[in-house]
Amino acid sequence: PTGGTVTIHTQSQHDTSVLQVENTGHPVPPELLPTLTEPFQRGTQRVRTDEHAGVGLGLAIVHSIVQAHDGTLDLTPRPTGGLLVTIRLPERHAAVSQQAASPNGAR
């Protein structure tokens, strides 16, 4: 809603990157949480009246990307309204090839 806030937190926990996005939007009914990652689902459809309402693709796209990277997506409704979205992705440490590590890219 107008005047609301979005807060983003990032951290690393035991070889896992954690991204949390929290907003102070409209309350999300708990019974709608399981469907929010499906395309065209809007958890606050019944109470949204603003002209810039989305079509319900954002969380579906995020969920697909997170799954493609072997991560998890958790949705937690906030007691005062809004939603906390937590994404956990495994940290992958790429092995540096000997060729890439050599000076001047010599072969």
* Domain ranges (residues) in the chain: 6-105
Q: Which residues contact 27 (CB under 8 A, 6 or more apart)?
A: 44, 47, 77, 81, 82
What average pLDDT score do residues 32-41 get? 82
**pLDDT value for 6:** 92
How far is 88 from 45, CA to CA, in rounded Å? 27
CATH number given to 6-105 = 3.30.565.10
- Percent of the chain having pLDDT more than 90? 40
**pLDDT value for 47:** 45
